[in-house]
Amino acid sequence: MPEQEKDSSSEMHEEAQRAPEHAEEKQPASLLPEPGHVRLGRRNFIGKVIVGCCAAVGLELGYAGFKMMATKPVGERKPVKLSLNQLPVGSRTIVIYGGEKIEVVRTKKGVRAMSMVCTHLGCLVIRQENENNYHCPCHDAYFDENGNVISGPPTQPLEEIPVTISGNTVTIGG
């Protein structure tokens, strides 16, 4: 009997070694990797998706940071001429001067012009009519109606642009 037990155990051992070969033969061809290719498991796939998403976010943030930090070329600062008729008292007009947006304001006291570019990193400020101030959304800075810093990281006021009035002509810059 011991020989029969040995024979049966050796037969079982041989079958166990052959079992993986038979299992591969029974799987459909579409589930088997092609020779030379490794099948991508679920964990590897999820890992690759996460790495890809992180890379995409990193590239986007890097691009946004570059665009914010890059110095913008300033155009030639040629004077801008307007008629006083174009600027009624109490009006605000945006003009382009040297490649930047400039707000021209006419009050009872006269005409003034101020850059709409934040002095911190060069973002455009937004006029807040209800608050009577300017807000820079990039770093939550605030400027008063004269361009002076109220709060936030800027240390300099908005740039004041020289204005001259000759007859009915208002000249911004010069």
Domain with CATH 2.102.10.10 in the chain: 80-172
Position 114 scores a pLDDT of 93
Between β-strands 80-83 and 169-172, what pairing exists: parallel, antiparallel or unpaired? antiparallel
**Could you read off the pLDDT of 28-55 as tens digits, one per residue?**
555 666 666 666 778 878 888 888 888 8
| Burial category of 142 from C-beta neighbours within 10 Å (exposed 0-12, middle 13-18, buried 19 and up) | middle
Residue type, 156: Q
- Distance between CA atoms of 108 and 36, rounded to whole angstroms? 82
Position 15 scores a pLDDT of 55
Architecture of domain 80-172: 3-layer Sandwich (2.102)
pTM of structure: 0.55
3-state SS, residue 44: helix
Highest mean pLDDT among 33-42, 59-68, 74-83: 74-83
pLDDT: which is higher, 38 or 87: 87
| Span 54-67, average pLDDT | 73
